[in-house]
Amino acid sequence: MRRWRLTIQYDGTSFCGWQRQASGPSVQQGLEEAITCFCGEQPAVTGAGRTDAGVHAAGQVAHVDLVREATAATVRDALNYHLRPAPVAVLEALPVADDFHARFSARARRYRYRILDRPAPPILERGFVWWTRRPLDVTRMADAAALLIGRHDFTSFRSAMCGAASPLKTIDALSVRRDGEEVVIDVRARSFLHNQVRIIAGTLERVGQGRWSTADVAAALAARRRERAGPTAPPGGLCLIAVEY
């Protein structure tokens, strides 16, 4: 038996999320079925993060235990062959120690949220950005984002369905910058609450439009009530960039 670490990229548009569900196809299900086609085994694939429906990944990480002996290149190529035509690719397969755990061994996760703020709708970027016609004030957004860095009670910034035992989370880094016609929000933390990044993006978008001030964001954080923060931004703008170990 050998444990494999898989680095995975996917377009989440057509999936109900990472985790296997009865409601529709998931990335986890697709990988597990590809493994079965490759070697006849039916192991569970464990991911580093459970991305929601419509959320993408550039560097999701998972682990799986396989009995079949194979080279790293064979595992990667065979899984990619059997994943077709699903929009999922195994970028790398590496043998790792038995105590490696994709979720619990992770030291940090990095997410990126993209907002396209131009009058014309997205075409090539459709499904990968949140479109707003009005230009956003990136400087104001960055100032407000700074208030959320550090360890806080993020009750206002988590889904009502969040199952985490505690709303306390530590955001290590949170930045807002302009990249051409896009506003890019980058955030890094060891772990996140359900919908936390999307609610942060929805809140900062209000600041960028001039509807909220930095004081409003501080008040929303202090209120510890979901209705006091901004809306949950659409899933398509969110991407799991990388998992750090």
Instruction: Supply the residues annotated as catalytic.
Output: 52
Annotate 5-71 with DSSP letters as a single string: EEEEEE-GGGSSBSS-BTTB--HHHHHHHHHHHHHS--PPPEES--PBTT-EEEEEEEEEEESS---
Listed residue (155, 185, 187) closest to 171, CA to CA: 187
The token pair at 67 is 């009995």
Q: Judge whether 6 and 93 are in contact, CB under 8 Å.
A: yes
Four-CA torsion 47, 51, 56, 61, nearest 10 degrees: -20
The torsion region of residue 200 among left (phi > 0), alpha (psi -120 to 50) and beta comes to alpha
Q: Judge whether 210 and 137 are in contact, CB under 8 Å.
A: yes
Residue with tokens 């004081």: 215
Q: Judge whether 48 and 121 are in contact, CB under 8 Å.
A: no
Listed residue (137, 214, 139) closest to 175, CA to CA: 139
